[in-house]
């Protein structure tokens, strides 16, 4: 919003090459607001503006830019500025940037790092994608258990510069093993002569470096900490993850799940920033898969062509019946996918969920079945529209509704478990995917019920 | 998980009334783990265990319990314990508890508060539901701009006990107006003689007390702070919101949106904790609405009964065509709902989105139309299954697919905007709701195309 207000001014200054006022304008802005303004500019202008920013400001703003723009900017920066910006980035943000860059640019960026920064980047890059190792930063402060509070504070004053956060301080032994954590506030509030080991509350939570995103998001929700330590299998502390990154991760996870649930591949950028063709590809892929799946409905219906010919009335209820199955499946799958994602349900809960969902399906199906039955037998022009056997038709429709809704609920709730069991993302059990599975079986249920109930009548 | 391991031990101790060992066991556990164990117990046992916990431990654990169990426990506590637990709660958590309690219990809880706590609770309750005012806590520390760093630190040591967080300290003037914020770490790192006003970086973000949840979640994402101050319209500081609450809020928002997107009312508790009947109600409501909507398909089809009688082949493609519209609508609606929720899109973007989605719809529809066309004209038994006019049928199907997919994309993308414009939740534009809207119009598009292309042939 601020960006929109200032944009005309800034554009004018760029046109006029009025660098002095531009710098002054920028100095008054918050880095995140400036980043927002830069995002709106054509790359050329953004790169230009970026180059005239004061050294430190440029580094801070760079971290606020979206990954996509960072990638492009990096390629347009001169070596000297690249060194400055990339060295100043937090190691976890740098890791994510390095993953996105084309290999030749990655090489250039790695070349621009100081030896110690390079070591950190390499270390962070060694962990599997989306694991805690990729999100941690090694820039934390650790103290020893036998320091006094005063010693610890003066140690922090000396070594704390550049740490990602000082809100939490870590206590490690001489081998780097994590012993406990300690809030800076607790150190400040403590008697100066108290020992660090006596200040800690003895509670300590750590995240294994191999933990995946959902796991560490869940840990943050559970423990209400602003930072959690990441450790290797021997308990040696490797880095910390801070809660601001976790908030971003949690939001990105939810966005991905919602897009997948809607039946498409997740976009990598916000809607308006995604290139049109890229978005079409991510949508067309799943639409085609669903379309091929849905083709089986035509095959199934061709099989029942004779029944339809004899009783066209049956065709009237096809959309009603298959969509009810799809809707109940969509409810079940979104419930279960989310519960699995936020770890309210585990893989081992599948049997309990199945019992619950079968029961839900029967109850929900019976409600719809009853309404459907009444809709047909109480319809004023029932004989004209549904024929003389309208009661039997109503029976077929309501039996089918119970069956289809139950089947939809079952498929929708069990598919996410199955996908997780197979090591896939449960969110791939999208609402449209479940609906498609249920459509074909719904038709079979419907026409089977019809051929039994209406036998000899038509 | 830990809960499951210890549960048999703890159950045994309860049966044996072995309070001493039970207390010892509890002393070693983290409050959040203990809370997890308590959740699993029948209410009676949970209340019992809760009563034998040490005073302070009970208060801490209470805050970790889910709202539902808190509500029930409060009703089973004796007055003395109630005072203890409720007084120790953070004001923001207390506000949420008070909202959930039956009025007579609320009165009892309010009665158990100390006068100053009562004032805080009343103040927090005055803001609209889901606004920043409801989530803030007034327990922060504010210092004056003319204090030195050393003075500020000693002020914090004196007044910081009980603050929700000391990670960020606020600078206010004599009228309580917010001037800036200051990290505790910056105070610790500063020269003791430096003035507070010179330490602040001059950047300051505040949340109006009336801001809604999505707004303040977006502010936290943007500014990477662990706490943000809440102010009234005059800039007077009222409280702070901490990022751990924001993470919970963001996750709860995403869960709600996903459940709504799946076509149901959002549950108030995790899946397994929701009472069965409650869940059925939240699912049956929308299922019935969708079912009534879908009944129009039967009405629409009755209108085209003549066409179907003359060309049963038309019936075969009904599920394929309407589901393609539903699927493309589901993609569009989930994309747009999420983009609106995370503020990547604003209401004013609707026209740009409409242009983009019409184009997407045409491209996606053409892809499906082409595949559908080939599917029919290249099918080995095409004449037997689709009749002598299979090419015309293929043309009808592919024209309809373009129309239906475009319509689905348009409805799916515009409905969330419309709902937000009307002040409703965009997430109510659920995938099944969009699909239902598209089903009826899809049938009309399909049969209209058929009656034009096949005129005179059948």
> Closest by alpha carbon to A164, among B183, B194, B227?
B183
Q: pLDDT tens-digit profile of A10-46? A: 778 877 878 788 777 777 777 778 888 888 777 777 7
Instruction: Examine the pLDDT at B4 and tell me if it is beyond 70.
Output: no
**pLDDT digit string, tens, across residues A303-313:** 888 888 888 88
Cross-chain Cβ contact B323/A432 below 8 Å: yes
Contact flag A185-B188 (C-beta cutoff 8 Å): no
Among A70-79, A155-164, B289-298, whose mean pLDDT is lowest?
A70-79
Determine the pLDDT at residue B408: 95
Nearest to A243 among B247, B263, B315 (CB): B247
Mean pLDDT, to the nearest integer, of B51-57?
A: 75
Chain A to chain B Cβ contacts (< 8 Å): 367
Residue to mutate among B331, B377, B408, with most A CBs inside 10 A, is: B331
pLDDT of B200 strictly over 80 = no
pLDDT for B96 beyond 80: no
What pLDDT does B325 receive? 93
Its ipTM equals 0.74
Q: What is the pLDDT of residue A250?
A: 87
Higher-confidence residue of B392 and B201: namely B392
Is A188's CB within 8 Å of B188's CB?
yes
Smallest CA-to-CA distance from B176 within B239, B124, B123 is with B239
In this complex, the residue of B344, B364, B431 whose CB is nearest that of residue A283 is: B364
Which of A152, A159, A242, A431 to mutate to test binding with chain B, by most B CBs within 10 Å of its CB?
A431
What is the rounded average pLDDT for all residues in chain A?
85
- Strand, coil or helix: what is B142? strand
Strand extents, DSSP E, A287-329 = none
Is A258 in Cβ contact with B261 (below 8 Å)? yes
What does the pLDDT read at residue A386? 79
Instruction: Write out chain A residues lying below 8 Å of B368, CB-based.
Output: 287-288, 291
Domain architecture of chain B: domains with CATH: 2-130 (1.25.60.10), 142-251 (3.10.580.10), 271-453 (1.10.357.20)
Distance from B303 to chain A by nearest Cα, in Å?
9
Span A446-457, pLDDT tens digits: 999 998 988 877
Residue A335 with chain B: CB contacts under 8 Å: 259, 262, 264, 267, 271
Residue B248 CB contacts under 8 Å (≥ 6 apart), including other chains: A221
Q: Phi and psi (nearest 5°) for A6?
A: -90, -15
B50-59: average pLDDT:
76
Query: Does the distance separating the beta carbons of B276 and A359 come in below 8 Å?
Result: yes
Other C-beta atoms within 10 Å of B370: how many? 13
Confidence bin at B1 (pLDDT 50/70/90): very low
What is the predicted pLDDT for the residue at A122? 66
**Poorest-confidence range of A158-162, A227-231, A325-329, B72-76?**
B72-76
Subunit contact A284:B255, Cβ cutoff 8 A: no
**Chain A residue at shortest CA distance from B220:** A244
**What pLDDT shows up at residue B442?**
93
- pLDDT of B2 above 60: no
Q: Give the per-residue SS3 of B390-447.
A: HHHHHHHHHHHHHHHHHHHHHHHHHHHHHHHHCCCCHHHCCHHHHHHHHHHHHHHHHH
For an interface test with A, which of B152, B253, B273, B334 has the most A Cβ atoms less than 10 Å from its Cβ? B334
B276 chain-A contacts, CB cut-off 8 A: 356, 359-360
Model pLDDT for residues A194-232, shown as the tens digit of each residue: 998 888 776 678 899 888 888 888 888 888 788 999 988
pLDDT of residue A1: 44
pLDDT for B458:
61
The answer to whether A435 contacts B323, with C-beta atoms less than 8 Å apart, is yes
* Joined tokens for residue A47: 């790169």
Is the per-residue pLDDT at A3 higher than 60? no
- Closest alpha carbon to B213 in B118, B336, B91, B92: B92
- Judged by CB atoms closer than 8 Å, whether chains meet at B189 and A161 is answered as yes
Q: Do A419 and A425 meet the contact criterion of CB atoms below 8 Å apart?
A: yes
The dihedral built from the CA positions of residue B439, B442, B446 and B447, taken in this order, carries a sign that is positive
- Between A84 and B390, the higher pLDDT residue: B390
Residues of A in contact with B153 (CB under 8 A): 188
pLDDT (average), residues B5-27: 77
**A5: pLDDT strictly greater than 80:** no
Tens digits of residue pLDDT in B322-357:
999 999 999 999 999 989 888 888 899 999 999 999
What's the average model confidence in pLDDT over A359-387? 89
* pLDDT at A188 exceeding the cut of 50: yes
Candidates A219, A220, A239, A221; CA nearest to A229 is A239
Nearest Cβ partner for B284 among A166, A259, A364? A364
8 Å CB contact of B280 and A165 = no
Chain A: give the shortest CA distance to residue B116, in Å.
24
Helix (H), strand (E) at residue A229: strand A227-231
How close A104 gets to chain B, by Cα (Å)? Answer: 31
Would the CB atoms of B243 and A247 count as touching at under 8 Å?
A: yes
pLDDT at A447: 92
As a whole number, mean pLDDT of residues B298-318 equals: 86
């Amino acid at each position: 919003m601020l960006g929109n207000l200032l944009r005309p001014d800034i554009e004018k200054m760029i046109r006029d090459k009025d660098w002095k006022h531009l710098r002054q304008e920028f100095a008054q802005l918050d880095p995140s607001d400036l980043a927002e303004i830069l995002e709106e500019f054509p790359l050329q202008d953004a790169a230009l503006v970026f180059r005239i920013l004061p050294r430190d400001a440029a580094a801070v703003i760079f971290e606020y830019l979206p990954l996509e723009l960072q990638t492009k900017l990096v390629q347009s920066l001169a070596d000297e500025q690249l060194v400055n910006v990339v060295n100043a980035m937090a190691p976890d943000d740098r890791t994510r940037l390095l993953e996105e860059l084309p290999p030749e640019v990655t090489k250039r960026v790695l070349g621009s790092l100081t030896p110690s920064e390079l070591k950190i980047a390499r270390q962070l890059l060694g962990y599997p994608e989306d694991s805690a190792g990729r999100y941690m930063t090694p820039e934390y402060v650790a103290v020893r258990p036998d320091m006094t509070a005063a010693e610890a504070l003066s140690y922090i004053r000396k070594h704390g510069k550049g740490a990602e956060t000082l809100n939490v301080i870590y206590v490690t032994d001489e081998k780097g093993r994590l012993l406990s954590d300690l809030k800076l506030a607790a150190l400040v509030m403590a008697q100066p002569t108290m020992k660090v080991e006596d200040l800690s509350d003895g509670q300590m939570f750590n995240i294994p470096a191999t933990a995946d995103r959902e796991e560490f998001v869940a840990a943050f929700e559970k423990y209400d900490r602003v930072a959690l330590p990441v450790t290797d299998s021997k308990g040696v502390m490797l880095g910390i993850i801070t809660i601001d990154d976790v908030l971003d991760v949690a939001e990105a996870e939810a966005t991905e799940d919602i897009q997948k649930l809607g039946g498409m591949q997740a976009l990598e950028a916000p809607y308006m920033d995604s290139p049109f063709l890229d978005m079409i590809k991510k949508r067309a892929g799943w639409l085609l898969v669903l379309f091929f799946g849905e083709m089986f409905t035509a095959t199934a219906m061709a099989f029942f062509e004779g029944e339809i010919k004899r009783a066209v009335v049956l065709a009237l209820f096809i959309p009603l019946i298959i969509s009810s199955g799809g809707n109940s499946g969509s409810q079940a799958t979104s419930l279960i996918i989310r519960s699995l994602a936020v770890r309210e349900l585990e893989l081992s809960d599948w049997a309990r969920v199945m019992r619950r969902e079968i029961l839900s399906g029967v109850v929900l199906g019976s409600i719809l079945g009853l309404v459907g039955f009444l809709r047909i037998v109480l319809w004023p022009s029932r004989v004209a529209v549904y024929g003389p056997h309208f009661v039997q038709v109503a029976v077929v429709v309501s039996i089918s509704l119970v069956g289809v809704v139950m089947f939809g609920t079952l498929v929708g709730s069990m598919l996410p478990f199955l996908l997780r069991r197979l090591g896939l993302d449960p969110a791939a059990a999208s609402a449209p995917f479940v609906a498609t599975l249920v459509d074909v079986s719904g038709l079979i249920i419907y026409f089977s019920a019809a051929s039994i109930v209406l036998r000899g009548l038509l």
